[in-house]
Amino acid sequence: MKIEEYRKKGLSFSFSKEEGFRDGIYYLQFPKTEEGSRRKGAELTEIMGKLKAKEGNISLLEIDKNFRRSFIEGILLSDYKFQRYKGEREKEAAIYVKGIDGVGEESKIRDLVFFVRDLVNDAPEKINPKSFSEIAGKIQGVEVFVGDKKWLKENGFNGTLAVGKGSSIPPRVVIYRYSPEGARRKIALVGKGVTFDSGGLDLKSPEYMKDMHMDMAGAAVVLGIAKALKDFPVKDEIIGIMPLAENLPSSSSYKPYDVLQMDNGKTVEINNTDAEGRLLLADGLIYAEKQGADIVIDLATLTGAAIVALGELVAALYSTDEEEGKKMEKASEKTGEKVWRMPLVEDYRDELKSQRADIKNSGYKRSGGSIMAALFLSEFIERPKWLHLDIAGPAMIEKPFYYMSSEGTGFGTRLLLEYLRGEK
């Protein structure tokens, strides 16, 4: 959707207490909140699509000036379709707007979210550890390093190496650094980068495997932040860490009952090869702490249990620091990307005990799966403040929801950026 200077052309929109089409004008209800305004912008896009209108106009002078930017954001974020492999693509519509002075920032945020959505939605033959690394290497404004299989071995990324053993495409890690002068703190962002998850030898059913090209959504968001930092500078040093692997079955795959030695000295018994993402994250958390991070934030499409608990629209948030947890919740309220604080229930930790190793990678009980995964990760981070976001629900949804597109949504991109920019 193109946002252009106001002229009374095409389908006219306005605001009213009652929504509906009257006297040649489509009336939207007055928004009462910033998020409500964002959703009204998405409604405008939907209505234009249903009526096949290629042009429309609206004056935002009628609504609270604090809501105008979010209205534009809703229009832009909702106008997304993954059309990379379509021969004939839909033409872009235009909306002529009165009451705003440019849409530069909103357009840049739209481009960032679409960049992440495109990564998540692309075919697994196109996005793998090698190609993802090549895309990362082209990002400007940060220093990017790609660690190959040899580097992973030398630096103790043994979880990533194990998960990637079954694929002909070797695992990698992408690490970027953003170092502003006079940085206050060092914040590490760790993203799960399983570019396709078949479950490994504990093979998923076809029903649950079909969307597993999206199991790298956490890494895509962390890479999106790298792209954002050029236009949206922050005062903290940022380290992005994205372990990348394909989890596939083959004669060389890692196996149930294997025992891995992690780089912090702990041993892990594998009792489920489909609980692989936490092994990549464990490597990333250990590395982040070694780099002297003050705060570590990880994002992952980690557990189906988080979806069972919170549905498709809400991410599970775990935090070992109350202040930082509240900052993430505040960023959630600002952006409309919903999170819900979850407990790290110490009484459940015994479920992860192993007779053969220090810990096993999955509990035997089906209940409390998201908490179990978070407890597992907590074994690999000690000193830094830690926030864990299980984005399995909102990272990929079945049907569009206002400005969230179906399939890959880019969830977490605006949330993390707002959190990082929170103290301007």
Q: Which of 227, 278, 327, 360 is catalytic?
A: 278
Please identify, among 72, 102, 132, the residue that sits at the C-terminal boundary of a domain.
Answer: 102
Are residues 78 and 180 located together in one domain of the fold? no
Are residues 13 and 68 located together in one domain of the fold? yes
Q: What is the pLDDT of residue 213?
A: 96
Are residues 98 and 121 located together in one domain of the fold? no
Please identify, among 67, 102, 137, the residue that sits at the C-terminal boundary of a domain.
Answer: 102
Q: Which of 149, 177, 204, 255 is catalytic?
A: 204
Number of domains in the chain: 2
Of 4-8, 156-160, 220-224, 371-375, the one with minimum mean pLDDT is 4-8
Q: What is the pLDDT of residue 84?
A: 87
Are residues 138 and 41 located together in one domain of the fold? no
Are residues 341 and 402 located together in one domain of the fold? yes
Are residues 93 and 204 located together in one domain of the fold? no
Is 365's pLDDT higher than 90? Answer: no
| 3-state per-residue secondary structure call for the chain | CEEEECCCCCEEEEEECCCEEECCEEEEECCCCHHHHHHHHHHHHHHHHHCCCCEEEEECCCCCHHHHHHHHHHHHHHCCCCCCCCCCCCCCCEEEEECCCCCHHHHHHHHHHHHHHHHHHCCCCCCCHHHHHHHHHCCCCCEEEEECHHHHHHCCCHHHHHHHHHCCCCCEEEEEEECCCCCCCEEEEEECEEEEECCCCCCCCHHHHCCHHHCCHHHHHHHHHHHHCCCCCCCCEEEEEEEEEEECCCCCCCCCCCEEECCCCCEEECCCCCCCHHHHHHHHHHHHHHCCCCEEEEEECCCHHHHHHHCCCEEEEEECCHHHHHHHHHHHHHHCCEEEECCCCHHHHHHHCCCCCCEECCCCCCCCHHHHHHHHHHCCCCCCEEEEEECCCCCEECCCECCECCEECCCCHHHHHHHHHCCC
Range of the domain at 138: 110-421
204 catalytically annotated: yes
Look up the pTM and report it: 0.96
Please identify, among 102, 135, 153, the residue that sits at the C-terminal boundary of a domain.
Answer: 102
What is the arithmetic mean of pLDDT over 389-402?
96
Q: What is the pLDDT of residue 1?
A: 86
Q: What is the pLDDT of residue 298?
A: 98
Are residues 56 and 149 located together in one domain of the fold? no
278 catalytically annotated: yes
